[in-house]
Structure 1
Amino acid sequence: MKFKMTRNQLIVVVALFLVFFDNISFFKHVTQVYDVSIANSGFLLSLGVVLVASITVLLSLFASRYTLKPLAIAFLLLASLTNYFMNTYNVILDDTMIQNAMETNANESLDLVNWNLLGYFFFLGIIPSFLIYRVPILHGSFKQEAWNKAKSIGIALVLIAVMLFAFNRFYTSFFRENKPLRYYTNPTYCLYSAGSYIYNSFYKKEATLKQIGLDATKEEGGTRKLTIVVVGEAARANRFSLNGYERQTNPLLQKEDIINFSNVYSCGTSTAISVPCMFSNLGRQNYSDKEAKSTENVIDVLKHSGVNVLWRDNNSDSKGVALRVEYHDYKISQNNTLCEDECRDEGMLVGLQKYVDAQKGDIVIVLHQMGNHGPAYYKRYPKAFEKFTPVCQTNQVEKCSAEEIGNAYDNAILYTDYFLSKTIAFLKQNDQNFQTSMIYMADHGESLGEKGLYLHGIPYFMAPEEQTHIGALMWFGSQSKERIDVVSLTQRSSQEYSHDNLFHTILGVMGVKTALYDRTKDILTYKHQ
């Protein structure tokens, strides 16, 4: 006789499978707070019951004769992938991480594909999905199905209530003091985050673009200004030898007359948040993705003032910052002449002199690096920069030792050192005709296995310093030094700064006057004010 299941039976089986096989990361983090002991055993067991009941309610609410199997299969496939990323990289799939994933190009996404991921997807996603597809479901009349659904949801809610009441003391601390633990439930939190992302991106009322800095004007007279703003990628401060790191990762920059800022912190822990935030005037405390996308940024203010602006990008894109200025994609070989397995940051400098020569007036150029984009750090630099060995030669960093991961990461920092030194050399060639300046700030940091964390994207309030403490430095040409008080700046270089300062610093170095400019937030000081 062919095996058959009722609708409710299938939902409970799927919920049990998800809790037992796809919530390893959740229970691992729970037991780090609530140790496995006789005193805690009842509570730990109740968490499994509550999670099974919650998934049952969620599936029951949206499952019908026609949606039951597709919905159950979608849950399993999603949970298998979420399970892999949480177990492997110890990341949380919140709305910011989903946004980052949606805004990442195909080539970068391929860096995350490996046999382990495919194994999770096949054994925890494809196989159970195929079994669900094949099993016949017993359906009753509409009235019977409605009653069964109500009964299933009712029993699940009663179970949740009983568990919460029975272990009230534990759940009080669980919900109030250990909120981050909920972020590891799979796939419930990921689904919640996806819903939040979709709502905020597509269903919230779209605001018309708010123009800012329409009063912006340039300083009259004087030598033209040329500033290059380099946006670094995943470059944490404590891997720069400029900041005291024992390895020589900045040999070329140490020969330059640069000012290193050792105490700079990011606005976010992902490119999707940090890049638009660092160019906005919202500040980290007031930042929201929706507000940033509906409000102009410092790039627009520069354009209003008459400054020529160019954005060259060797990362995924500008995250909406450069939508209204000249933009060049340097992830493609048609534009970037230095492409091997992937296109190099150095290629963004090729042909740049031709652009500068063609402009009249002041110029700001933004170069958005590929930098230290993980997890395939070994791809981020030419072989000639493989100074620290052995290196992790795979995107499966969990298979590599801490030394191998660190070596590959440090080699990528070494290549950034080279790229920035070449950028300075380019500016030196133009120092006779311009007040030249370079500002480098990374978008966020990176975890390399510390505390079991890899990559980045942890919610800011719980992010480790490795993901928020970033590399930052500046260089000024001889004519710029006649205007900028470099001595004072050097003395203050160890003070704490953040992405919140960049908006005003760019306006200040370019001499742009606007009511938006806040001199107290400009990192620079000037000899004649």
Structure 2
Amino acid sequence: MPTEALAALVSAYFVLACNGPLWDAVRAGSGSLRVLLSLGVAVFALHALLFGLFCWGRLARPLLALLLVVTALAHWYMTRYAVVFDAEMVRNVLNTDPAESRELVSVRMVLHVLLLGVLPAALVLLTRPVRRTWRRALLLRAGFLLAMALLVGAALGASSQGVFALMRSDLVLRYKITPGNYIVSLVNVLKPSKKAKGPVQAVGADARRPPEALARKPRLLVLVVGETVRGDHWGLNGYARQTTPELAARDVVNFPDVTACGTSTEVSLPCMFSPFGRADYDRDAIRGHESVLDVAARAGVGVLWRDNQSGCKGVCIRQASETLGPSDGASLCAEGRCFDEILLSGLQAKIDAIPGDALIVLHMLGNHGPNYFERYPPKFARWTPVCETAELSRCQKADIVNAYDNAILYTDAVLGRLIDLLAGQGGHDAAMLYVSDHGESLGEYGLFLHGAPYAIAPKQQLHVPMALWLSPGFAAGDGIDLACLREAAKRPASHDNLFPTVLGAFDVRTSAYRGERDLLAACRKR
């Protein structure tokens, strides 16, 4: 079979078998058969054109076979979880750790990939290319590419007004064109940054603490980064279920209206620890500059990152860090995952090892999906029945919510234990700040999990909980008026407040500090 014919067949297969989410969106957005047919022909010709440009010689068939298998995988996650394969989602995929990947594998997924991807890939590999002279091969390939380009133009020209109106009204429609969506996004992720590469740029190079800060009793701030907890399921925010009884009993200051910097850990974690935040979001700048951990360390604060998740995404790379596992508490771990209580294992010894001011970050596994039912010990299964499969679309929504809420209940219990530990500190005035990195979709609008493009992300993925606990000594030493703080907490906040709040808590003086974003600044009475 000529390679051109094979490329056309594979393109037609993609259009007919692997673009269900695209055609569903076209029918819902337009309802016009003419638009549907025009876009179908255009998608076919565009992929055939792409394959014709890059599939040459002996690599053509292996490359097409690989695309068939990967596209089957992409199709599975698009149809089961409504995943949108933009550049950020591709980054999430590339940075997924083995434990996360294992949870997404199921028998149905394997069968899906075998039938939709591996079988047609095997058929492609069984074909043999037609032998030609190089002149004839170039001539025929040029003719094929020209024909596909003309077909694209003719197809779009036949109903251009309807097609482009649909594209403008549905901003993610182009990310549903498979496999073009993940191919283009992967190219965007892998292409070199336009910004000059070089050493990480310093932030707050002038950071220092005044003599009075060095003379007072040392302070300890434990910053807990939650995972995938959405604000409208947080008991302290007025949720119908009391998912936070331990925090409610410990007199914390709750922030009910907090917006995340991103919809994935890969975006939110670097962003929330940077001086740029969402207000001045620039991925390259964030990755190319120091984090608030570096600024605090430069000012003499002891810094430690403890991780029970997929790493700190570069935030803690220049500071002391540790990833906890079975050796830190075998009874809390199974199959590569540990319950979040492990973050408290040996924590007192770590605190005692830092004689002065200390900033400790605890990175939780939290509500990481889709296996919410595995995020808590059995005794926290308060709401039942629960969804016990990674294929959330097969479960009743109520069962998904039950498992999700049980996981929050467990997070609340861990935070309660942490506060009790901090309340007993003799060598430090202690405080705890908890905030989730992003929210989660539980079936609303047909979406599951997270990672939607920020511009169109639903509120469920952006509204996150945040709570602050201050020991009496910390509040008094920093001059915090708690009544003022409770009132101020009712105002909107975001991840952008984290950077200055951390610096303010340790009296760090630097030009990088922005007092208007410090959550505590307005209520300091000293």
How far residue 212 of structure 1 moved from its aligned partner, in angstroms, is 1.3
- Paired residue type of 1:304: R
SS in 1 for 2:172: helix
Match of 2:504 among 501, 505, 508: 508
1:174 to 146, 166, 169: 166
Distance 1:285 1:147, change over 3 A: farther
Residue in structure 2 matched with residue 328 of structure 1 by the alignment: 322
Distance in 2 between residues matched to 1:217 and 1:285, nearest whole Å: 26
Measure how far apart 1:286 and its partner are. Answer: 2.6
Tell me which amino acid in the other structure corresponds to 2:199.
T
Deviations 1:282-302 (A, max 9, x none): 121432332222210100000
Trace 1:467-478 onto structure 2 (pairs within 5 A): 467-478=461-472
CA distance in 1, matches of 2:130, 2:91: 39
Pick from 92, 95, 102 the counterpart of residue 103 of structure 1.
95
1:440 aligns with: 434
Find the residue that maps to 2:332 and give its secondary structure.
Answer: coil
- Tell me the amino acid that sits aligned with residue 392 of structure 2: V
User: Cα offset for 1:478?
Assistant: 0.4
Which position in structure 1 is the counterpart of 2:484?
488
Alignment of structure 1 residues 388-467 onto 2, 5 Å? 388-430=383-425, 432-467=426-461
8 Å contact 1:337–1:350 — kept in the other structure? no
In the alignment, structure 1 residue 227 sits paired with structure 2 residue 224: no
Corresponding letter in the other structure for 1:523: L
Partner of 1:213: 204
Match of 1:48 in 2: 40
Distance 2:66 2:34 in 1: 31
Distance, in Å, in 1 between the alignment partners of 2:331 and 2:290 is: 33
**What 5-or-longer segments of structure 1 have no aligned partner?**
none
**Structure 2 residue 146 is matched with structure 1 residue 149:** no
- Please state how far the C-alpha of 1:496 moved relative to its aligned partner: 0.8
Q: Could you tell me which of 184, 187, 206 is aligned with 1:192?
A: 184
Alpha-carbon separation, structure 2, partners of 1:357 and 1:445 = 34
Deviation per CA, 1:35-56: give whole Å up to 9, x if none: 2xxxx11111011100000000
The 8 Å contact of residues 485 and 524 in structure 1, kept in 2 or not, is answered as no
SS at match of 1:513: coil
Residue 274 of structure 1: which of 268, 271, 288 is its match?
268
Q: For residue 65 of structure 1, what is the amino acid of its counterpart?
A: G
Check the 8 A contact 2:30/2:162 in 1, yes or no. no
Q: 1: distance between equivalents of 2:297 and 2:501?
A: 16
Aligned residue in 1 for 2:258: 264
Aligned residues: 518
What is the Cα deviation at residue 121 of structure 1?
1.0
Match of 2:20 among 24, 29, 33: 24
Task: Give per-residue Cα distances to partners, 1:347-381, cap 9 Å, x unaligned.
Answer: 11111111211222100100000000000001101
Work out which of the residue numbers 354, 365, 368 in structure 2 matches 1:370.
365
Q: 1:497 — aligned with what?
A: 493
Check the 8 A contact 1:59/1:71 in 2, yes or no. no
Cα distance in 1 between the residues matched to 2:189 and 2:419: 40
The Cα of 1:168 is off from its aligned counterpart by 2.1
Matches within 5 A, 1:299-378: 299-330=293-324, 332-341=325-334, 342-378=337-373
Measure the CA separation in 2 of the matches of 1:516 and 1:434.
Answer: 26
**In 2: Cα distance, 1:69 partner to 1:400 partner:** 39
Kindly provide the CA deviation profile for residues 105-160 of structure 1, in whole angstroms up to 9, marking residues without a partner as x.
10111111112221221011100011111122213111111111111111111111
Deviation, 1:206, is 2.2
Structure-1 residue corresponding to 2:379: 384
In structure 2, distance between residues paired with 1:361 and 1:374: 38
For 2:9 and 2:502, the matched residues in 1 are separated by: 58
How many angstroms does 1:457 deviate by?
A: 0.2
Q: Contact 2:326–2:333 (CA<8 Å) still a contact in 1?
A: no
Find the residue that maps to 1:457 and give its secondary structure. coil
AA aligned opposite 1:484: I
For 2:72 and 2:346, the matched residues in 1 are separated by 46
State percent identity of aligned pairs. 36
Please say if residues 229 and 366 of structure 1, whose CA atoms lie closer than 8 Å, have aligned partners that are also in contact: yes
Cα distance in 2 between the residues matched to 1:353 and 1:283: 32
What is the deviation of 1:258?
Answer: 0.3
Distance 2:215 2:177 in 1: 61
Aligned: 1:113 with 2:105: yes
Contact 2:71/2:117 (<8 A) preserved = yes
> Which one is further off, 244-253 or 307-316?
244-253
Cα RMSD for the two superposed structures: 1.4
Are the aligned partners of 1:7 and 1:139 in contact in 2 as well (CA < 8 Å)?
Answer: no
Deviation at 1:337, TM superposition (A): 4.6
Query: What displacement does 1:480 show?
Result: 1.6
Give the letter for the 1:365 counterpart.
Answer: I
Instruction: State the AA in 1 paired with 2:35.
Output: F
One-letter code aligned to 1:521: R
Distance 2:192 2:233 in 1: 36
Q: Unaligned 5+ residue runs, structure 2?
A: none
| Distance (whole Å) between structure 2 residues aligned to residue 393 and residue 179 of structure 1 | 33
User: Which shifted more, 6-15 or 175-184?
Assistant: 175-184
Residues 338 and 346 in structure 1, CA contact (< 8 A), matched pair in contact too: no
309-318 or 213-222: which moved more?
A: 213-222
Matched, 1:10 2:2: no
2:524 aligned partner: 527
Q: Which amino acid aligns with 1:208?
A: P
Q: In structure 2, what is the Cα distance between the partners aligned to 1:337 and 1:365? A: 23
For 2:299 and 2:238, locate their aligned partners in 1 and report how far apart those are by CA, in whole Å. Answer: 40
Residue 158 of structure 1 is aligned with which of 150, 157, 168? 150
Partner of 1:86: 78
- State the distance in 1 between where 2:346 and 2:326 align: 14
Quote the Cα distance in structure 2 between the aligned partners of 1:486 and 1:195.
Answer: 51
CA shift at 1:512, angstroms?
1.2
Partner of 1:183 in structure 2?
A: 175
TM norm structure 2: 0.96
**Deviations along 1:394-439, whole A, 9 cap, x unmatched?**
1111111101100000000000000110110111011x43221111
